[in-house]
Amino acid sequence: DIQMTQSPSTLSASLGDRVTITCRASQSISSWLAWYQQRPGKAPKLLIYKASILESGVPSRFSGSGSGTEFSLTISSLQPDDFAIYYCQQYDNYSLTFGGGTKVEIK
C-alpha cells in the first residue's frame, strides 16, 4: 500500500494567516491526490482533486500544488470556517489511502 504522511499533525494559527500543509507519498502517485476538510461531527468535504483543481464552490483561498511524491495545501488567509482537520488522499491505486490528518486550530 502507498503510505501518505502529512505534516504537521497540528497547526496553530491566527485569523488571516497563510498556512501550508504538506503531504508526502511513499511512491510516486503522479497528480492523483485529493484534499478533504472535516469539521467536528461532520463528513469530510472535497476541497481539491488531481493535486491542484479546486472543487466547485470551494473558496479560492484554498490551493493545492505538487506532483510525484510531494504535495501541499495552502490556505492564503485563514477564516473562522477553516479551523478543521485536513486529510490528503491518494487515488493512484488500491488500497486508497489517506494521510493521518492535520488539525488546524486557533492560536
Partner 1 sequence: QVQLVESGGGVVQPGKSLRLSCAASGFDFSGYGMHWVRQAPGKGLEWVSLIWYDGSNKDYADSVKGRFTISRDKSKNTVYLQMNNLRAEDTAVYYCAREGKWEMTSGGIKGVFDYWGQGSLVTVSS
Under the rule (CB under 8 A), what is the footprint of partner 1? 1, 32, 34, 36, 38, 43-46, 49-50, 53, 55, 87, 89, 91-101
Distance CA 82, CA 105 (A): 9
Residue written as grid cell 473562522: 80
Choose between 19 and 35: whose C-beta lies nearer to partner 1.
35
Q: What is the smallest separation between the CB atom of 2 and partner 1, expressed in angstroms?
A: 11
Residue 16, Ramachandran bin (φ over 0: left; ψ between -120 and 50: alpha; else beta)? left
Q: What is the smallest separation between the CB atom of 45 and partner 1, expressed in angstroms?
A: 7
Q: What is the smallest separation between the CB atom of 82 and partner 1, expressed in angstroms?
A: 19
CB of 61 closer than 8 Å to CB of 75? yes
